[in-house]
Each structure stands twice: as structure tokens, then as C-alpha cells.
Amino acid sequence: MSDAAIAKPKDWVPAGDLQTEISAEKMLLELPRELQFITGSEAAREAIRRANVDVAISYPITPQSETMQQAGYLYDDGYIKEYYRGEEEIGVMSAIAGASRAGVRALTATSGPGLMRGMEAISSWPGARVNPILLNMCRVINTPLAIQPDNIEMSFLINTGMLMLHAENQQDFFDYTLAATEVVDHVDVTLPCVVSVDGFFVTHARGPVSLPSEKYKLTKRDGWKNCVPAMDNENPPARISRDAPIQKSNFISYHMHASWQQEVFAAVERSGKYFEKLLQGRIEVVNPGAEDFIIASGSAVSQAREAVRQEGEQGRTVGLVKVKTIRPWPGQQIIAAVKDAKRILIPEFNQAGWLHKEVCSTLYGECKAKIFGGPRVYGGMTMPTEMVLEWLAQARKDYP
């Protein structure tokens, strides 16, 4: 696009300059909202509009492309200060880290294979204590090549030290993105956060989303208040690490690296109190005290809700635990929620069953329930409610 095509009138004022800064607590919990019927990509756009983003960088990949196209429109309107397309994902994830290290609020998005390509850079973010927001629209990463929804890629992020949220629907995608934007800035957190959503099921489908007025945006990031102060990129230090003892020749010593990792994962746990407040709980529990429970995250929660409803029509009570934060993991909350359960199902949109593994590790020795790793669909398959109902019926038959 030529300069003439994007030229603005002399009296043009960036739309972001006309917004009023407020806290995420007021944005998410206090302001009145207006209901709209929009796609997940549009919900992400509305979150970005209110997130006071300084820099957005991306590389197109389906199904993420539409969201960052929407971000481009926001840049044109003046809601984002800088925006450009990178050459590929490693470059994008590296550039985002540099922007975040400089003290500005940075955001990017990707999907499936793009996430995998950027993983070398992404996995370095937590240890570097940079805190960008990554929107991840999950898709198949395995061959044969496909663009369909499948969230196996989330299993690669679980132990990187990143904060991880898994949105069920368009409303979550809006709320979680704004909550994450504020939580990552706390001085006792200062970590990146990935907000994942199951591609196409949410990104390209419309759903009801309650939005606060676009007159408001989150308070700007102050990089000097993070646990690692912002770096002046115009005059970068000779060595990034300020503390001499952590240097061993050109590499960090092993014992300091270990303690550094301990601090990163301690910071993950410290973020829990902030998510607990902004998301009004890190889990949602339906029908507490039930003998049969479904534990799910992402789009699988919606399928589970319908199964719970249909079971209720038949006079059977089934409980549901919706896991909102994958990291920090709400282990104690899950134990408390299902302590009296007899049977637990864990439906997932991936082959490996990463959520099943997490739950089993948490409940081992804490709960007598029989835990079923399924149903699972993958490769882009949908999960019919009938499949969840059949698994429930079989579980009751096998473990009465």
C-alpha cells in the first residue's frame, strides 16, 4: 500500500488516543455490556481494540489470518501504534520478544504449524521475562497437512513456563485476552501468556459476546515496573544479564539456570490469584456433588454442557468442571470439585489426551473415581453430544 493510500488528514487523531484508560477489573467486572453476535476472530479484534496494544506483528496462517487482518484495520484506525507482517514465525516471535523487552505491550497470533515453527523463540520468552500476549487458534500439526481444528499443539506449551488459557467460546476469547493482558504486567508475574481457542469452531463461527464500551482501554504497560526492567533498545547493554554470577563463560551456570527456572514456575503460580479474580474462578463447576463428572477445556466444554443438559432431562445429574487456566494449573480446585465423584470423563479434541494426563497426575491418591481418557476426536473431527452420552452410559455399566 502506498503512503498516499494510508495518508491521514492533518486533523486525524488516532482512535486509541480518544479512549479512556481503566483497569481490567473495571473493564471485565464492572462496566455495563452490550450483546453482539460475532465470530471468534471479531471477538479477538474487540479485545485488541480495548487492550491498549503498542505493537502487533504477525505472519499469516489459517485459521489465525482473519484475526490479524482485523488487527490491521485497528492499526489503520489508530488503536494499535505499530503493526507489520513478519517474514515467517521465528522472525515474528523473535521480534515480539524484542518489542516486549523494550517495555511496550506486544501481541501476536498464530496457529498449529506456525506455533511449532516459532517454538524456539516462544520457549525462550518466559526465561527472558518478556510478557507478550500470544493468541493461538489451534489447528492440526500432524501430517497429512490439514487446516482443521485439533489442539495437540497446546501440549507442547504446557511446561515452557508460559501462562496458558483455553477459551471455550467467543465470549471467553474476548474476556481471557483482556484478563491475560493485565495479569502478565504484574511485577510478581512478568511472563508471556498464550490464549488458545479451537480454530474454526470458535474463530469462524458466530456466538453471543457481551462487550463493554469501546470508549475504554486497559491502562498502558509500564515496562519499568516489571520484574526485569525494560531495555533501551536504542542503547542496548553489552550484556543483557545484569548479574555477573549468573554468567559462566558465555553461558549461564547450571545451578543458576535451575534457580532461574524455579522462579519462572513460581511466577506462574503467583499469577493464579489475579486470574482467580478477573475470570471469577479458574474453574467453573456445574452440579457440584454429582457422582458422574466431565472435566474439559476449550470447545469440549460446550459439548459437555449439552451432554449434562440432556442427562438432566433424563433425570440423571452429571457434573462438569470447566478448566479455564491450563497454567497456572488449578489442581486443588479440581480435587475439591470432584472429591466425591465415582466416574470422570475427559473429552478432548486431540489424540494424545494431554488434559487427561494432567488430571490423572492431579487426582492420583486424591480421588477414588475411575477416570476415563475420552472421548477424543482429532484431525478436525467434531464431537457429537451422542458420543459423550455413550461414554457416560458405558462408564456407568462398567463401573456401577
Selection from 6, 20, 5, 65 nearest residue 213 by Cα: 20
- Where in the sequence of the chain do the CATH 3.40.50.920 domains occur? 283-398
- Where in the sequence of the chain do the CATH 3.40.50.970 domains occur? 15-218
Q: Which three cell numbers stand for residue 344?
A: 470422570
Q: Are 202 and 167 in contact (CB under 8 A)?
A: yes
The residue ranges of the chain whose pLDDT is under 70 are: 1-6, 236-252
Report the pLDDT value the prediction gives residue 136, as an integer from 0 to 100.
96
Report the pLDDT value the prediction gives residue 298, as an integer from 0 to 100.
97
Q: Are 106 and 96 in contact (CB under 8 A)?
A: yes
Q: How many residues does the chain have?
A: 400
Report the pLDDT value the prediction gives residue 2, as an integer from 0 to 100.
44
Selection from 231, 243, 226 nearest residue 101 by Cα: 231
Q: How do residues 66-103 score in pLDDT, each as one tens digit?
A: 899 999 999 999 999 999 999 999 999 999 999 999 99
Report the pLDDT value the prediction gives residue 4, as an integer from 0 to 100.
47
DSSP notation for 71-111: HHHHHHHTSSSEEEE-SSHHHHHHHHHHHHHTTS-EEEEE-
Helix (H, G, I), strand (E, B) or coil at 384: coil
* CB neighbours of residue 62 within 10 Å: 18
Report the pLDDT value the prediction gives residue 250, as an integer from 0 to 100.
57
3-state DSSP helix/strand/coil % of the chain, to nearest 5: 40, 20, 40
The pTM of the whole model exceeds 0.85:
yes
Report the pLDDT value the prediction gives residue 1, as an integer from 0 to 100.
45
Amino acid making up residue 256: M
Q: Count Cα neighbours of 97 within 13 Å in the Cβ-side half-sphere.
A: 18
Report the pLDDT value the prediction gives residue 192, as an integer from 0 to 100.
98
In whole angstroms, what is the distance from residue 53 CA to residue 105 CA? 5
Report the pLDDT value the prediction gives residue 173, as an integer from 0 to 100.
97
Q: Count Cα neighbours of 267 within 13 Å in the Cβ-side half-sphere.
A: 30
Region 15-218: CATH code: 3.40.50.970
Q: At the topology level of CATH, where does 283-398 sit?
A: Rossmann fold (3.40.50)
Selection from 211, 130, 129 nearest residue 170 by Cα: 211
Q: Which three cell numbers stand for residue 104?
A: 511496550
Q: Are 298 and 249 in contact (CB under 8 A)?
A: no
Report the pLDDT value the prediction gives residue 247, as an integer from 0 to 100.
52
Residue 241 sits at φ, ψ, to 5 deg, of: -70, 125
In whole angstroms, what is the distance from residue 53 CA to residue 62 CA? 23
Q: Please give the sequence-ordered ranges of beta strands (E in DSSP) within 82-205, or none if there are none.
A: 82-85, 106-110, 133-138, 163-167, 193-198
